Structure 1
Amino acid sequence: MNVFKKQQWFIVICVAAITSCMRLSAQTGEDTLLHLPEVVITENYHNRAIRSALPTQIMTEKAIQNLNALQISDVVKHFSGVTVKDYGGIGGLKTVSVRGLGATHTAVGYNGVLLSDVQTGQIDIGRFSTDNVNSITLNQAQSDQIFQPARFFSAASVLHIHSRIPSFEQGEKTHGKGSLKTGSFGLVNPTVYLEQKISDRMAASLSGEWLSADGRYPYVLHYGPSKNDSSSLEKRQNTDVQNLRLEGALFGKISPTSRADARIYYYRSERGLPGAVIFYNTDNASKQRLWDETFFAQVHYRNDFTDKWALQANAKYNYGYQHYLDPTYLNSAGKLENTYRQHEGYGSVALLYSPYPALQLSTAADLTSATLDANLYNFVYPRRITLQSVMAAKFTAEKFTATANVLYTQTDEKVKNGNPAENHHKVSPCLAVSTQPFDDIDLHFRAFYKNIFRLPTFNDLYYSLVGKRDLKPEDAQQFNMGLTYGISGSDHLPFLSFAADIYRNTIKNKIVAVPVKNMFEWSMVNYGKVRIDGIDLSMESIFNLPHEISLSAGGTFSYQKALNMTDPQSSTYKNQIPYTPRTSGAAHATVEMPWFKVSYTLLWSGIRYALAENIPQNRLPGYTDHSFSLSKVVNTKRHTWHISVEALNVGDKNYEIVRNFHMPGRSFRGTVSIDF
């Protein structure tokens, strides 16, 4: 039996076993689903971020509501060390790079299982809304929770999205929330979320969302860098978007020691792809269209057999479809129309052993099979089977925490046409420590080292006339030292936290596209080398003021010196890498009063360069983005109403995150929602 057949049977067995466990949950009887109140969960989140040996940033549901965020990408911009590459508008592509390592080094998890895109290697986080999100976590290197699938150890950073989990008080059976957002540029966004208690041991949730916008925002187009140069008032073209998201989940408590959940997710979108602005021809800047469709089903099972032993298993099937159309492409057909289909099967088993209260040992094995189909001429139809296994340990004493793990990755590449890329196998270590030197001060010092790599994507290897099959994986080294400080429990200052980290990241064998013969013929090569030195600062606080007024405020600051170290003879040697600002940051403040709540958010960035050469012609100016919101909660006998209005980018600046892709100026948004 070959490797492919073995992994198929492995996934089938995982799915069958967990599905059987889900059925059993409906036949048993006593315990109810119990969840900690939100205030306790929030406190635990804060403590976890302070005491973690690996830098961790967490946004709770309440914090997300205060950020004027429509999509996950709006929230992620408030994490330190993060650069969101935003191509403008609601439907524009949004990818996240952490500490200058690039979007392909950032893993995105969704309720315990990683999302994947074997074609491009990066996840468009703009497609995820904040409607049913309970929390968002960003871990540098990885989480210090070692009981997790092996794939969570395989990236330079992990952004994890956690959905809501049903919770019921005594006598309750149904919860729900409906909301409607509307605003500038044709935005209409109705959502619905339902929770249902099926039995004492089973519950279900269902959420749905529709988003539509024309995205035709005005902007000022300047025809030169000088204030005296001519300009014109334009409207962004081909920016319409329509998204549909449906998600269902089933939660079961099988026995006093075991539980399971299953999820089905469906997403579909049609959008215009706004092109780069072309001087004197903005009406025809782009006619390109993109259709996306994603479906996945995943199951999770966990059993804490004893105080010392625990087991968890995960399985997932993922289908991705993409249809791209350029009706103005200059070829014999008069258009360019491509379709791509991804299929992925995934299974994981993890075991945790705790021989002593202070010591945990874990091991996990993951198996993934991914394929890509396309309607391209002479396409190779690649398939990649990846085996990842990890051994990890965590030691926790009163004032000291240490985690260590070793990840082993092995791949098997197959193609239907031609020769496949070479197979890879690699060992990747990670070590992290944290210590609290003083008894009466919540001050922690931490440090970590991690070596990780990222495989070339299918586009890197096989894309027509561009891909190169002998590419090596990118190799990343991460070093970090930092401290955290926290205060909690005071009547006037319930919570205060501060974190500071300095780091150095290096990448070798960086995969870059270079011209081969001319500017129209490119190829992917391994020659890049990047060194990133940086500082991340973050602060969060809550103050209780007189007259039942509270103030929560926080901010982040990042400094990144991300230099191209590839070729000392090149004009780009020791230049800042494109679209990575030296300095950036964010701030937020919310005042809660008995009558209403006022929130303010700030995003700012220093200068960046659009290309590798740091010359004035490639320079993008810095920007600031100020937003405000006013909200009120109205309680009736049976329902709770939430009403809010938002003013976004009140400075009305059409700044550019990506050159020639102007961001929307001032806009307004209103939301009405009801909890029942």
Structure 2
Amino acid sequence: MRINSLLIRKFLRGIIVALVPLYPQSSFAQQHKLDTTRIYVIPEITISEPYQIRETRAAIPIQVITAKELRSLNVLQVSDAVKHLAGVIVKDYGGIGGLKTISLRSLGAEHTVVSYDGVALSDCQTGQIDIGRFSLDNIDRLTVSNGQTDNIFQPARLFASAGQLNIQTLTPSFKKDKSTNAYVSLKSGSWGLINPSLRIEHKSSEKWLYSFNSEWMSADGKYPYTMHYGNNNDSISQEKRKNTKVENLRIESELFGNLSDKEQLRLKAYYFQSSRDLPGATTLYYDYASQHLWDKNVFIQSKYKKELNNRWALQASAKWNWSYQHYLDPDYKGINGKTENTYYQQEYYASTGILFRGWHNTSLSLSTDGSINTLNANLTNFAKPTRYAWLTAFAGKYVTERVTFTASLLATVIEERTQTEDANRKYRKINPDISLSFKVLKEEELRIRMFYKNSFRQPSFNDLYYGEIGNRNLSPEKSAQYNMGVTYSKKINHFVPYLSATIDGYYNKINDKIIATPTKNIFIWSMVNLGKVEIKGVDITTKVVLQPSENIRLNISCNHTYQRALDITNPTNHTYKNQIAYTPRVSGSGQFGIETPLMNLSYSLLWVGKRYTLGQNLPENRLESYQDHSVSLSKETKIANTLASFNLELLNLANKNYEVVKNFPMPGRSLRATIKIVY
């Protein structure tokens, strides 16, 4: 009996020794000293934890929306979902087809990297990613993080931004004795919305999985709204939005290779095209527009990861990206009678990284990325720039049950060449980052966290080369972020299986902010480094799960943001210490969901305080606050081997045509229905 106990202790010790280097974030990473002479080989072990726990244990503010939570949020696109997160500002130019960009804590869309399955998306032309083009049918989870995440084993490009939105798509999973899954869904609703989608997953062997996903969306977008006349809204009329039709097509194909327990390969091909009318501003007593935009985007990306041994891991990724944009304004009163521009972008990108799991719960990583970006256009004397970028990130991490500490240095070298200039433009920068999370009480999940991150963003090609606006001598924008917060999570009892709360105070500052100022007239502008912005704010999140009975579950969450984002460029300017444009002082969201065997009911609320459309905070520049209420009912039923789900959503219950951007009214009350079949 004594021998058996000794063997058991040795075996358990071997498991702990194997898990500590493999999973540095695990709670097993405690005070056990590694004995390299006693390593037991374990074929496969999976460690998982709820995403809510990760949100409170992380050293930086991180918010996760899972696929299950997305179904109860009454949202159609990624841009709709992230509006419900604390500290997030989404600029929405109205309707389904309008441009939508994300900004974290008012740092600007250019300072937010959007990654798709761990590989960054890029737009060297504007520096902004239109997140309105991503639907939710193929999404496993959305993760928004401020600062640098605790994951140090990632491409160097993901170290380069002030914040990150990661879009993680679904990975196929199969029940026993099944090799094929099929998902068919159809959404339909107000304003001519039709949105069918198809997903097929196939397992050809234990090593190789395949998935195919496609969807098409069409909507006329002709929703009614109220037109106001005069500065004092002396009169009104009921109108319908014009020039709002949109059609999108997305096709994705992905190959998953589980080559061994320690070696994985993922290869994705993506195609997207859209044709959309661009609605105009509802101003000057009419709503008329004739502009049209065509977009196409193709990329192929791959990711490879291998555990070389218990200490070392290697990963590599590569991507080719091509995008096309065609803009038409048939009513432009110029010499040609119209404006018709086309833009072509290409990117070649590669990344390699290595991870060393050291002693005493320490790990180190080194990653380096290289990319080539080109832009061409049909504009006269266009510069046709080419940008070469090399990024190298060195990071370290120390983890115990009570402490998480990370630090990194990012070195960036960028060179640009054009066909209209002989000299090359060069940028060189080193940016540090440091973060710490400390568990205050041994028996309670109460933690204090803090981080500092320094980053910069190089000017976009539009900033530098667009027509008479671009300025070849622009310097990069420089940002500094400081954050201190408290997190708490607890399982109270069977009735309250989960409760969490976070509060983070932050201070951000941007120097050399790139701003546009008019020169000769309102059509000729000058891009200069004049701006300085100071941002102070507080983000609060709460989540609670109630389980009154075995078959009934209630999910309640609430987020709130208070923020002062002030222009501190020049004390003599009229905008000095005024709130920057389109940044609300207060914003937030709330969700309530109840799950029962009969059906599920959910309610969501989004509120945004008053904002100003210009830097001068005058009454005539003010946009009023708004609230958006939505409810949904869903039901799942199983017939033989087929699972069918039905979802009915009533959106914007108050029927308010609120404005996110001035003179671009949002749709009022609408209805949306979804049918999904899973085989």
Q: Which residue of 1 aligns with 2:523?
A: 520
Q: Which residue of 1 aligns with 2:240?
A: 235
* Of 154, 157, 160, the match for 1:151: 157
* Of 279, 299, 302, the match for 2:284: 279
Q: Which residue of 2 aligns with 1:250?
A: 255
1:327 aligns with 2:333: no
Note if contact 1:421-1:470 (Cα within 8 Å) is conserved in structure 2: no
Post-superposition shift, 1:545?
1.5
Q: 1:334 to 1:35 in 2, by over 3 A?
A: farther
Note if contact 1:495-1:543 (Cα within 8 Å) is conserved in structure 2: yes
Q: Which residue of 2 aligns with 1:197?
A: 203
* Of 346, 349, 366, the match for 2:369: 366
Q: 1:35 to 1:192 in 2, by over 3 A?
A: farther
1:261 aligns with 2:266: yes
CA distance in 2, matches of 1:365, 1:121: 21
CA distance in 2, matches of 1:411, 1:471: 14
Q: Which moved more, 1:148-157 or 1:163-172?
A: 163-172
Counterpart of 2:610, as a letter, is I
Q: Which residue of 1 aligns with 2:494?
A: 491
Note if contact 1:420-1:469 (Cα within 8 Å) is conserved in structure 2: no
Q: Which residue of 2 aligns with 1:618?
A: 621
SS at match of 2:52: helix
Post-superposition shift, 1:225?
5.5
SS at match of 1:493: coil
1:632 aligns with 2:638: no
Note if contact 1:223-1:230 (Cα within 8 Å) is conserved in structure 2: yes
* Of 570, 574, 584, the match for 1:571: 574
Deviation digits for residues 589-638 of structure 1 (CA, Å, limit 9, x no counterpart): 11111100111000100000001100011000000000000110011112
1:48 aligns with 2:51: no
CA distance in 2, matches of 1:655, 1:613: 21
Post-superposition shift, 1:220?
0.5
Q: Which residue of 2 aligns with 1:122?
A: 128
CA distance in 2, matches of 1:510, 1:599: 42
Counterpart of 2:484, as a letter, is M
SS at match of 2:54: helix
CA distance in 1, matches of 2:231, 2:185: 44
Counterpart of 1:136, as a letter, is L
SS at match of 1:62: helix
1:292 aligns with 2:295: yes
Post-superposition shift, 1:286?
1.1
Q: Which residue of 2 aligns with 1:57?
A: 63
Q: Which moved more, 1:197-206 or 1:539-548?
A: 539-548
Post-superposition shift, 1:117?
0.1
CA distance in 2, matches of 1:405, 1:82: 25
SS at match of 2:447: strand
Counterpart of 1:567, as a letter, is N
1:457 aligns with 2:457: no
- Map of 1:106-505 to 2, 5 A cutoff? 106-224=112-230, 226=232, 229-282=234-287, 285-356=288-359, 358-419=361-422, 422-488=425-491, 490-505=493-508
SS at match of 1:199: coil
Root-mean-square deviation (CA), in Å? Answer: 1.3
CA distance in 2, matches of 1:274, 1:356: 59
Post-superposition shift, 1:355?
1.5
Note if contact 2:229-2:285 (Cα within 8 Å) is conserved in structure 1: no
* Of 92, 103, 106, the match for 1:97: 103
TM-score (norm 1): 0.93
Counterpart of 1:410, as a letter, is V
Deviation digits for residues 75-113 of structure 1 (CA, Å, limit 9, x no counterpart): 100110001000000000000111010110010000010
CA distance in 1, matches of 2:210, 2:562: 44
* Of 593, 597, 601, the match for 2:604: 601
CA distance in 2, matches of 1:382, 1:540: 48
Q: Which residue of 1 aligns with 2:5?
A: none
CA distance in 2, matches of 1:49, 1:536: 13
Post-superposition shift, 1:646?
0.4
Post-superposition shift, 1:254?
1.6
Post-superposition shift, 1:420?
5.5
TM-score (norm 2): 0.92
Aligned residue pairs: how many?
637
Note if contact 1:245-1:268 (Cα within 8 Å) is conserved in structure 2: yes
- Map of 1:553-592 to 2, 5 A cutoff? 553-592=556-595
SS at match of 1:517: strand
Note if contact 2:300-2:320 (Cα within 8 Å) is conserved in structure 1: yes
Indicate the percent of aligned positions where both proteins have the same amino acid: 47
CA distance in 1, matches of 2:669, 2:50: 37
Note if contact 2:148-2:453 (Cα within 8 Å) is conserved in structure 1: no
CA distance in 1, matches of 2:422, 2:596: 66
Note if contact 2:417-2:425 (Cα within 8 Å) is conserved in structure 1: no
SS at match of 2:425: coil
Q: Which moved more, 1:288-297 or 1:349-358?
A: 349-358
Post-superposition shift, 1:422?
2.3
Note if contact 2:589-2:604 (Cα within 8 Å) is conserved in structure 1: yes
Note if contact 1:175-1:195 (Cα within 8 Å) is conserved in structure 2: yes
1:510 aligns with 2:516: no
Post-superposition shift, 1:222?
1.4
CA distance in 1, matches of 2:496, 2:44: 30
CA distance in 2, matches of 1:635, 1:224: 57
Counterpart of 2:223, as a letter, is Y
CA distance in 1, matches of 2:481, 2:508: 5
CA distance in 2, matches of 1:367, 1:160: 20
Q: Which moved more, 1:400-409 or 1:417-426?
A: 417-426
Post-superposition shift, 1:211?
0.2
Q: 1:327 to 1:45 in 2, by over 3 A?
A: same
SS at match of 2:357: strand
Post-superposition shift, 1:224?
3.8
CA distance in 2, matches of 1:449, 1:268: 39
Post-superposition shift, 1:547?
6.5
Post-superposition shift, 1:34?
8.9
Post-superposition shift, 1:281?
2.3
Note if contact 1:260-1:302 (Cα within 8 Å) is conserved in structure 2: yes
CA distance in 1, matches of 2:212, 2:511: 45
Post-superposition shift, 1:256?
2.6
Note if contact 1:35-1:167 (Cα within 8 Å) is conserved in structure 2: no
Post-superposition shift, 1:35?
10
Note if contact 1:421-1:461 (Cα within 8 Å) is conserved in structure 2: no
Post-superposition shift, 1:400?
0.9
Counterpart of 1:270, as a letter, is S
Note if contact 1:34-1:167 (Cα within 8 Å) is conserved in structure 2: no
CA distance in 2, matches of 1:598, 1:89: 26
Q: Which residue of 2 aligns with 1:22?
A: none
Post-superposition shift, 1:176?
1.7
Post-superposition shift, 1:518?
2.1
Post-superposition shift, 1:305?
1.1
Post-superposition shift, 1:550?
0.8
Q: Which residue of 1 aligns with 2:660?
A: 657
CA distance in 1, matches of 2:451, 2:220: 46
